[in-house]
Structure 1
Amino acid sequence: MRSTGPAYPRGMELEVRHLRALCAIADAGSLHKAARQLGVSQPSLTTQLRRIERALDGELFLRERTGCRPTPFGRTVLGRARPLLADMAALVAEARAQAHGPRLRIGSTASRALPGWLRRLHLRLPDTETSLLVDVSANALLRMVAAGQLDVAFVHEVEGSPLRVPEGLQTHVLMEREPQFVSMPRDHPAAGQEIVSLRDLAADRWAVDPSVDGEWDGLRRVFAGAGLDPPVLHTDYHTATSLIISGEAVAPCQPTSGPREDMAIRPLCGDPLAVRLLLATRPGAHAEVYEDLRAAYREAALRTPPYRAWLHHHASPLLEAA
């Protein structure tokens, strides 16, 4: 039974960072993913959670083999913590805006459209201070926009794995279905083909970053649908590039990935892997931000021959805009 004594044991008071840790664990669904998002080690986050639970004299999460989920008591605490964090973030954002003048805080998952987007924004908004945060987690970026820590976020949503868009955000669809290509060693037997099938790569090891929201689940669904079960390497995509070049793996990649001398990038037959590209904004954000992003993405897409050919073959609206 929960104690009716003091709210906090001696030497322990809850702080904003503790509330942020609880929300990160709940949103990520596991201590490992939450620790990675928070930039701390998993043992450190586990210890912090235990201290918070002792401070509140109640269990906040059920530890299961598949991850963590809030207890009824934990849901109550999270229900109070989230608005507190949102109010604190909004307070800080408003104070900084008044102190430093106009600012545009951008979040994004990795994209080759970013340099062109920033260039256009600097020309359009020369007196606005622009910052950029790149993160592998689209859901984390969306939460930051909702909390007032970012103004806009350019994210991708893996097909079949919907993002958790917080209430109140405005979303604009840049690409309803962007195909994912595959990168492979330059001397791979399938590299001589203009378009490759999944079965051409069934014997290869596939590198995938499980921290990218929906990436592994989406790839697993596509494999299952094709009746394939290739070996998988869980790694980050920076390391994956080295593995591909050395002939150890293949990996899904964005179609805007430019040609390289040390690897081959090819479309997949039937486009089984795809994402939806979204721009999420806070109400009242600059309307021009979306148009500049669209122009930058179009620029990146058209300078990549395989993707340009794909866009022509599918009569993409992106070409009409050009």
Structure 2
Amino acid sequence: MQLELRHLQAVCQIADSGSLGGAARRLGVSQPALSAQLRRIERVTGGELFVRGRHGVEPTPLGRFVLTKARRVLTEMETLGAETRAMATDAPLRLGCILLVLIDGLLTRTDLAPAGREITVDVEHSVTALVRMLGAGRYDVIVYGEVNDHEVALPRGILARTLVPKEPFCIRMSTRHPLAVHEVLDLAQLADEQWMTLVEDDDGGPEALVEACAKAGFAPSLRYRITDRKMRHDLVAAGRAISLTQPTAPAVEGTVMRPLLGTPITGRIRLAWNRAAVSAAQADTLYRAAAAAYLANVDNNAFHRAWWDAHPEAHPVLG
């Protein structure tokens, strides 16, 4: 086996994380897979690169030597990528995103392509996959969400900016549901419901839902996980499930949206970009376009407009 860039990235991530588990989460692989990869790397380098210390794994003298060389090589590759992308001025700007509500509005904006630069857009259903592809150069910029206190670890060379620091998740249910007559729902009222789980399961959403429900005295029945948006809405309208949703989501026939008492589950929307491919000016243009797309959806639901006006700290920073 010959060492490849992914091997150097793995070694650096283990050192930066201080543990195999933390590095595995950041790399989007299982811990056993990363451990097996590390053993193969150590066979090539001729000795152990890490030992377990009081504060996690620590590099050995050989490990420190490899890390110094690895970081130098990775920095050179980042520089190469930056310079080649800068020369290819007609290359499209590659945007990846999770299917957030604002994406529909974002794609209709005409000011996303400064100097006539073409933009390509792909939708992913995994934040981990999205971030990995950004780090690997498959995307230049991504828009993604995080739930409650969950923070997505970003690769080297990536910059990020929070678009919406907080928004309250709400419940979508059938108009025929007995609880639909309430203007606000207590999470405990939903103990016997069948839940539509969030499409992406690595943004902290499932854990946040389970934790919030546990505090309300029950464990949610997570029955459906469907990526097709129309099918999800049809199941909810038929009364077969309820779902968490963003408060900016549009109205859907046969369903209603209700806020949760005390906002036990909140989301955060972020923009991240590869500094080797996206200039500060381009990142600011994208940020403002995404902010405008989000703001255009605030009035989709009267309860969110009221919450939004009462929480200016949750607004995008446009100054």
Q: TM-score, with normalisation over the residues of structure 2?
A: 0.69
1:214/1:87 Cα in 2 relative to 1: closer, same or farther (>3 Å)?
Answer: farther
Deviations 1:73-96 (CA, angstroms, capped at 9, x unpaired): 9x9999988986786677567546
CA distance in 2, matches of 1:86, 1:310: 45
Which one scores higher on RCO, CA 8 angstroms, separation ≥ 6? 2
Cα pair distance change 1:226/1:58, threshold 3 Å: farther
Deviates more, 1:278-287 or 1:180-189: 278-287
Measured against aligned partners, the alpha-carbon deviations of 1:153-183 in whole angstroms (never above 9, x if no partner) come to 2221111222213355333222221111111
- Alignment of 1:204 with 2:193, yes or no, is yes
- TM-superposed CA distance for 1:51, in Å, is 10
Structure 2 counterpart of 1:311, which letter?
Answer: W
Q: Check if 1:221 corresponds to 2:216.
A: no
User: In the alignment, is residue 131 of structure 1 matched against residue 128 of structure 2?
Assistant: no
Which deviates further from its counterpart, 270-279 or 107-116?
A: 107-116
Q: Distance in 2 between matches of 1:133 and 1:311?
A: 29
Compared with structure 1, are the counterparts of its residues 260 and 125 closer, same or farther at alpha carbon in structure 2 (3 Å cutoff)? same
Structure 2 residue identity aligned to 1:303: N
Q: Aligned letter for 2:176?
A: D
What RMSD, in angstroms, separates the aligned Cα atoms of the two structures? 4.5
Contact map agreement 2:164 2:314 (CA 8 A) in 1: no
1:284 aligns with 2:280: yes
Query: Is the CA contact (8 Å cut-off) linking 1:184 and 1:263 kept in structure 2?
Result: yes
Answering whether residue 160 of structure 2 is matched by residue 171 of structure 1, we say: yes
1:198-250 per-position Cα deviation (integer Å, ceiling 9, x unaligned): 12211002234463321111111111222222322262343771432332221
Judged with a 3 Å threshold, the aligned counterparts in structure 2 of structure 1 residues 213 and 303 are, in CA distance, closer, same or farther, namely closer
Is the counterpart of residue 297 in structure 1 residue 294 in structure 2? yes
- Aligned partner of 1:271 in structure 2 is 263
The whole-number CA distance in structure 1 between the counterparts of 2:133 and 2:22 is: 12
For 1:311, the equivalent position in structure 2 comes to 308
Alpha-carbon distance in 2 for matches of 1:83, 1:276:
34
Contact map agreement 2:143 2:269 (CA 8 A) in 1:
yes
Offset at 1:54?
10
Report the Cα distance in structure 2 between the residues aligned to 1:238 and 1:28, rounded to whole angstroms: 32
2:249 counterpart of 1:257? yes
Counterpart residue number, 1:104: 93
Residues 148 and 320 from structure 1, CA distance in 2 versus in 1: closer, same or farther, beyond 3 angstroms? closer
- After TM superposition, list the pairs within 5 Å mapping 1:1-322 onto structure 2: 29=24, 34=29, 91=80, 95=84, 98-99=87-88, 101-122=90-111, 125=114, 127-206=116-195, 207-209=197-199, 211-233=201-223, 235-238=225-228, 241=232, 242-281=234-273, 282=275, 284=280, 286=282, 287-314=284-311, 318=315
Tell me, in whole angstroms, the C-alpha distance in 2 between the residues paired with 1:50 and 1:222.
Answer: 40
Q: Could you tell me how far 1:18 is from its partner in structure 2?
A: 8.6
Which letter does structure 2 place at the counterpart of 1:284?
Answer: A
Give unmatched runs, 5+ long, in structure 2.
Answer: 14-19, 31-36, 50-56
SS in 2 for 1:275: strand
Q: Does the 8 A contact of 2:113 with 2:119 survive in 1? A: no
Structure 1 counterpart of 2:205, one-letter code: E
Amino acid at match of 1:267: P
Shift of 1:263: 2.1
Q: State the Cα distance separating 1:147 from its structure 2 match.
A: 4.1
SS of match in other structure, 1:113: helix
Q: Distance in 1 between matches of 2:67 and 2:227?
A: 33
Q: Could you tell me how far apart the structure 1 residues matched to 2:144 and 2:88 are?
A: 29
Retained in 1: the 8 A contact 2:102–2:290? Answer: yes
Question: Which one-letter code corresponds to 1:194 in the other structure?
Answer: E
Letter in 2 for 1:114: I
1:232 maps to a residue whose letter is: L
